Structure formats: structure tokens, C-alpha cells
Amino acid sequence: MPPADRTAVTLSAVLPYAATIFVSSFLLFLVQPIIAKQILPWFGGSAAVWTTCLVFFQSALLAGYAYADLTTRLGPRRQALLHLALLLASLAFLPIIASNSLKPQGGEAPILAILLLLAATIGLPYFLLSTTTPLLQAWYWRRFRSAVPYRLFALSNFASLTALLGFPVLFEPFLTLPQLGWIWSALYAALVLLCGSIAWRSMAVLPAAEAVVQARGAPPALAAQLQWFALSGMGSVMLLATTNHVTQNIASVPFLWVLPLSLYLLSFILAFDHPRWYRRPVFLIALAGLLPAMAWTMNSLDLWVAVPVYFAGLFAACMLCHGELAQRKPDPRHLTRFYLMLSLGGAAGAVLVAIAAPLALNGYFELGIALVLLAVLVSASVRGPARAAGAAVLVATLALVGRGAFDYTDNVRVMRRDFYGVVRTRDHPSPVPYRAMYHGAIMHGGQLLGEAQRNVPSDYFGPTTGYGRTFRALRELRPRQPLKVGILGLGAGVIAAYGRAGDEFVFYEISPRVAEIAGSEFSFLKHTAAASAVVMGDGRLSLEREAPRDYDLLGIDAFSGDSIPMHLITREAMAIYVRHLRPDGVIVFQATNRFVDLMPVVKRLAAEFGFEAVLVSDTPAGAEGSGYWYSSTDQIIVTRSQALLGQPLLAQAAVPIEARPDLPVFTDAHHNLLRILK
């Protein structure tokens, strides 16, 4: 074929390949927040649910790329027929809506349960979406021998980024989860037709099997493949370690996890679109300054300082890793092997951070380790006079990471880790001796030390807080009646201090480590006069399985870091609470956090069920001189009992909550956090 004709054919023929890759990659990343949001409430709303989902997504991507690499040896006809059969079989998974029969019962290992649930819900469709980019690029290369294939990889990452950013802005505010699931499923069915038509045509137009095998030649050298693996793995480790650190140790801001993943994808887009976007000296110099800065801010809680530093460092690190990958990419004959090693490195990085680190490390140390490894890479990448600067960066990063680890563990009595996060206890000598419990970077209550004060409620639960006033008001209304109390979220067990003889206190706690530490480091559960019990598992799911309890008071005090899990403030959750509440009972929502305005959400829920909601804010004056350890706190009191709200202890502190008519009632299928950010 003359060169001019070949160019014309290629330009027109590339459109089906490009369109299929774009739609496939768009669906690949759109399904991630859809399915993660469906199952998030089933596992306590923890940020670790998203990290575990990333392990599945990376592993499925690895399986898809391995399939693309291995099946190229089958020859065009058999490869196309196999792919067509799998595409048709995958339609049986539609629609991609997680079945309620897969809900955990409370005793499962959460990581394994999540992985199995995802495999059962989206396994084959996600696997086949993962095969599309390398497979169609390989078919395109075989047919046209064009240099375009690697730019199609940039296109696929652009489509992924579009879906990722579009979900919270364009899709979630206007569509429910079931609607999104059905729309996604319809688009996937259309993709099956599109991809199937290309596979069918490939049988006729691609070279014979023998010619394909001969054209592949010897595989790339093992050293080159290991470089691809290591660079990809380093980028993946930085992505997950940075995401974990920012979302669990700095700020549990909704959708904050979207930004690091977007930067990760953007680096792939730029690196593989054109060589002009990657200049090694620029990013080496950037990392030389950013690595020590990231290590320096490791224990900072200032969102507006730490987050820009970490995200800038993550982007520079990913540009270095992915830029080096783009420079080392092989001849397109071996692109399926190249993508296989990229996905293998990505999956290995995800497993190291999401699974191996929680098992091997008792605290959040993986980011510090990643920074040191990255500093080693930077130091090894420079030559000549710059080697001294590279060594200085390594030494500075190592020293600052060590300082951060010391500060993180200094004066810590106990530090334990599980799927739901890191729990630490630390003693504070002033203003009075006090032992605090920390989940991530947030203090979740504690206990005054000393025999005389061991059962005195303090911090978020002192006598002038919403909890303190509500308990006292209930006692005055029912002076000789024992109370039945249920609390979602154990913490240090401080609320048990309000128990009296004859009372029944039931705590619902999802984290085994929290339950262990509440029993070993704090004595509220031991010394309360009430009969107390701890029910393990997600509080909402546990209440859903139980017969009505007729609680006088139900406290919603479960937090993941600084943020209440959203599945605890939906219409369906409220219906469960009401089923377990006495007609004149009260629900207390803990609303203290830095980033989300829960007040109008709870007010709408209360109104829908015929309850009144008021806010009790407590900022004790002169706490240092009072002999107690107090914190400012906001708690929402929800009840139908006008007698309770009329009690002077509550009436003098309760204030109305401003209504927001524009805010819909949150439901399991539809809630948008962007509308309630502070």
C-alpha cells in the first residue's frame, strides 16, 4: 500500500479503536466509585474500604493485562473467538448492583470479604474492561504498524480521569446509585457490541498466527522488565501511601481521595502523550525539595499546608516514575508485555500498602518508608557533581522521616492497628492527668487519671455537653426508672460513666482493636454501675439484624477519623434507629468535626420521621482550672418528647438548627457530600 493511502486508512480506521478504548477506560473508572459507594456502608464507612477496593482494581487490571499478553500467542482467530465468548458471558453480571445477600454478618475478615464481594458483583466485566486497552492497541499495531498505540494509552488514562472527576460533580449529585448502576450497565452492553465487532473483524484482517508469533521476536530483556515493574510499583506505593496518610491522618474530607488518584492518572497522560511533557532534571529538582518537605510535614494536621505539599510531591514522584517508563517503552510488538509489567508493579504496590503494611506495621509508617525509597531512587538517578546533592536529599529525608516517626510514637502507651485504622493511647500530664485515645490523628475521648476521677465523664461527653444534659434530663423525668442505652461507637467507653445500677448500656463497635484498648487502657466499662455489653460489627448492620431494643437513648457516635460515616445519617438508617427507640426516647448525634456540616442533614431526617432536632454546643470556659479535661463539641438532640426538650438543663443550652430547603433527605442510594462541606 502506498504511504499516502496507508495514512488515510489509518486516520479513518483508528476511530473505532480510539472510541472503544475511551469508552472502556471511562467505564473502568466510573464503576470504581459506584461499586465502592454501594459497599462502603457495609464495612463501617472506613477509608480502608477504598484502599482495599484499589487492591481489587489493580489486581483485576493485572489479570486483564496478563490475559492480553498470553492470548496474543493463540493467533488472531482463536484470540478473537475467546474474547467474544467472554464478552457475552460477562453480560450475566449486569446490572452491577451489589446484592444484599452479600452483606457481612459481622465475623468476616473485611479485606477478604470485600475482595470476594467485588469479584461476585463486577468481576468478569471489570476484568474484560481491563483487557481492552492493551488488546486493542496490539490489534491496531498488527494491522497498521503505526506509532499511535502508546498515545492510545494516554487516551485511555484521559478517559479514566474524566470518569473519576465527573462522578462527584456530574453524576452523583443528580443520579441515585441504582440509576447509575443501570446506566453503567447499559453503556457496558453497548461496549460489548463495539468491542465484539472489532474482535470479529480482527479475525479476517489480522495476520496469520505464525506471522504474529514470528513478528513478536524475543521478549525484552529481564532487566528491562524489572525496571518497568519497579517504576510502576513505586508510583503505586506513593499513590496509596499518600492517600492513606492524607485521608486518615490529616483530614477526612469527602472525595479528598479523588485528587491523588487524578494526579496519578494525569502523570500517565502526560508521560505517554508526548516526550515534551517529561523533563527528568525538572522533576528531579522538584523532588529534591519536595521529599524533605513531605517528611517535615508528616505529623502536621494543617490541611492547607500538608495537603498541597503531599499532592505536589505525589505528582512529581509519579511524573518521574511514569516519565521514565515512557522513555523505556519497548517496540509496540511487545506492548502487551510492557503493560503486563506495569500492572504487575501497580498491583504489587497496592498489596504492599493496603494489605502487607497493616499486617506488618502497627502504625502509619508506610509513607515514611516510601519517601526514603523514593529518595534512594532520586539519589541514584543523578550523576557527576549532582551526586552530592542527591546524597544530601537522601540524608535529609531519612533524618526527617525518623524525626516524624519519633514524634508519632513519643509517649504513646499502646498502638494497635487493624483494617479500620490505627488506635493509640497517650498520657497527658496537664492541665490534669489524662489518658487519651486517638484514632488516626483525631482524639476520640479519654479518661481522667486518679482513683477519685476514674469514672468521671470528660472531653466530648462532660456534664455540660449534649450527652451530659440529656442523661440528666432523662433522670429528672424518670427518677426511679432504669435506662436502656445503645451507643454506636465505643471509643474509650466514656459514656458508660453515666450508667447507674439497673441501667443497660450496649455499645456497638466495628474495630476489634478499639474494643481491646477500651477494655485494657480505660476502666469505664469495668467501673460502670450499669450492665454493659459490646456488640462487635457495624452498628447499623447489627441493629438491622436485632429485634427492637426499646432504647431510651440511642447515641450515634461512630467516627472514621474526623468524619461520621454517611450510611449512619440516611433515611434507611433513621428508620432502623426509630424501630429500636421508645416513643418518647431520644437520639443523640455526635456532630463534632472540621469539614462536614451535619446539622441540616440530621434536621431533615428528624422532620421526616416526626422528630424535633436541636443543637447543643459546648465550649467550656476556664477548662484548665476546673479540674476536668474538656473539648468543644456539637451534639444534635433528636426526640418527639416535648417534656424532655422542656427540661431546663436542655432548654437553656439547645438552639434551633437552621433549615436548608434546598438539601434533600440523604438516602443510601443518593447523598452528595459536596453540598454539606463547611
Res 15: pLDDT = 82
Report whether the peptide linkage leading into residue 95 is cis, meaning its omega lies within 30 degrees of zero: yes
Of 14-18, 206-210, 293-297, 597-601, give the lowest mean pLDDT range: 206-210
Which of 273, 24, 267 shows the shortest CA–CA distance to 148? 273
Give yes or no for residue 628 having a pLDDT over 90.
no
Cell of 529: 454501675
Of 163-172, 284-293, 610-619, give the lowest mean pLDDT range: 163-172
Res 334: pLDDT = 82
Please check whether residue 435 is in contact with residue 425, taking contact to mean a CB–CB distance below 8 angstroms: yes
Q: Quick one: what percent of the chain has pLDDT higher than 70? A: 89
Res 523: pLDDT = 94
Q: CA 82 to CA 97: how far, in whole Å?
A: 26
429-676 carries CATH number 3.55.50.30:
no
Q: What is the pLDDT of residues 335-349, one digit of tens each?
A: 888 989 999 999 999
Give yes or no for residue 5 having a pLDDT over 80.
no
- Counting every residue written for the chain, the total comes to 678
Domain spans, the chain: 1-218, 221-329+361-410, 429-676
Could you tell me whether strands 531-536 and 654-656 are parallel, antiparallel, or unpaired per DSSP bridges?
unpaired
**DSSP structure class, residue 168:** I
SS3 590: strand
Please check whether residue 132 is in contact with residue 20, taking contact to mean a CB–CB distance below 8 angstroms: yes
Which of 219, 236, 249, 242 shows the shortest CA–CA distance to 325? 236
Q: From the CB of residue 623, how many other CB atoms can be counted at a distance below 10 Å? A: 17
145 Cβ neighbours under 8 A, 6+ residues apart: none
Q: Quick one: what percent of the chain has pLDDT higher than 90? A: 51
Q: From the CB of residue 278, how many other CB atoms can be counted at a distance below 10 Å? A: 21
SS3 143: helix
Q: Cell 422528630 sits at which residue?
A: 611
Which of 371, 276, 272 shows the shortest CA–CA distance to 316? 371
Which of 460, 468, 470, 514 shows the shortest CA–CA distance to 490? 514
Q: CA 139 to CA 355: how far, in whole Å?
A: 36
Cell of 640: 418527639
State the pLDDT confidence band at 419, using cuts at 50, 70 and 90. Answer: confident
Q: What is the pLDDT of residues 152-201, one digit of tens each?
A: 788 899 999 999 888 888 888 888 888 999 999 999 999 999 998 888 87
Give yes or no for residue 237 having a pLDDT over 90.
yes
Q: Which parts of 145-278 fold into alpha helices (H)?
A: 149-166, 177-205, 209-216, 222-245, 258-273
Bridge partners (DSSP) of residue 488 are 508, 556
State the pLDDT confidence band at 332, using cuts at 50, 70 and 90. Answer: confident
450 Cβ neighbours under 8 A, 6+ residues apart: 433
Of 217-221, 232-236, 382-386, give the lowest mean pLDDT range: 217-221
Bridge partners (DSSP) of residue 596 are 677
Q: Which parts of 429-533 fold into alpha helices (H)?
A: 466-477, 512-520, 524-527
Highest average pLDDT, of 248-257, 279-288, 592-601, comes from 279-288
Q: Cell 453480560 sits at which residue?
A: 91
Task: List b or e across 448-487, with b for residues whose CB sees 16 or more CB atoms inside 10 angstroms.
Answer: beeeebebbbbbbbbbbbbbbbbbbbbbeeeeeeebbbbb
Give yes or no for residue 41 having a pLDDT over 90.
no
Q: CA 132 to CA 201: how far, in whole Å?
A: 15
Q: CA 422 to CA 403: how far, in whole Å?
A: 19
Q: What is the pLDDT of residues 539-580, one digit of tens each?
A: 998 999 999 999 999 999 987 655 677 788 889 999 999 999
590 Cα distance to chain centroid: 22
SS3 467: helix
State the pLDDT confidence band at 437, using cuts at 50, 70 and 90. Answer: very high
Q: What is the pTM of this model?
A: 0.81
Q: CA 184 to CA 30: how far, in whole Å?
A: 8
Cell of 300: 502536621
> Starting at the edge strand that comes first in sequence, how are the strands of the sheet with 654-656 ordered?
531-536, 504-509, 484-488, 551-556, 581-590, 633-639, 612-618, 654-656
Task: Output phi, psi for 254, to 5 deg.
Answer: -55, 135
Fold classification of 1-218 (topology level): Growth Hormone; Chain: A; (1.20.1250)
Task: Output phi, psi for 104, to 5 deg.
Answer: -70, 155
Q: What is the pLDDT of residues 441-460, one digit of tens each?
A: 778 889 998 888 888 898 88
Bridge partners (DSSP) of residue 635 are 590, 616
Res 289: pLDDT = 93
Cell of 677: 462541606
Q: What is the pLDDT of residues 462-471, one digit of tens each?
A: 889 999 999 9
The chain-wide mean pLDDT, for the chain, equals 86
Q: Cell 451507643 sits at which residue?
A: 487
* C-alpha to C-alpha distances, 6 to 1, 149, 202, nearest whole angstrom: 6, 16, 18
For helices 3-39 and 177-205, what crossing angle results, to 10°? 150
Q: In degrees to the nearest 10, what's the CA dihedral of 198, 204, 208, 212?
A: -20
Could you tell me whether strands 484-488 and 442-448 are parallel, antiparallel, or unpaired per DSSP bridges?
unpaired
Bridge partners (DSSP) of residue 426 are 412, 436
SS3 178: helix
Q: CA 526 to CA 231: how far, in whole Å?
A: 52
Q: What is the pLDDT of residues 474-508, one digit of tens each?
A: 999 988 899 999 999 999 999 999 999 999 999 99
Res 217: pLDDT = 56
Q: What is the pLDDT of residues 88-110, one digit of tens each?
A: 999 999 998 888 777 877 667 78
What's the alpha-carbon Rg for the chain, to the nearest Å?
28
Q: CA 403 to CA 396: how far, in whole Å?
A: 11
Helix (H) or strand (E) holding 435: strand 434-439
For the segment 362-383, the average pLDDT, to the nearest whole number, is 90
Tell me, letter by letter, the H, E, C secondary structure of 296-341: HCCCCCCHHHHHHHHHHHHHHHHHHHHHHHHHCCCCHHHHHHHHHH
More confident residue, 438 or 669: 438
Res 674: pLDDT = 64
For the segment 281-300, the average pLDDT, to the nearest whole number, is 91
Q: From the CB of residue 102, how many other CB atoms can be counted at a distance below 10 Å? A: 14
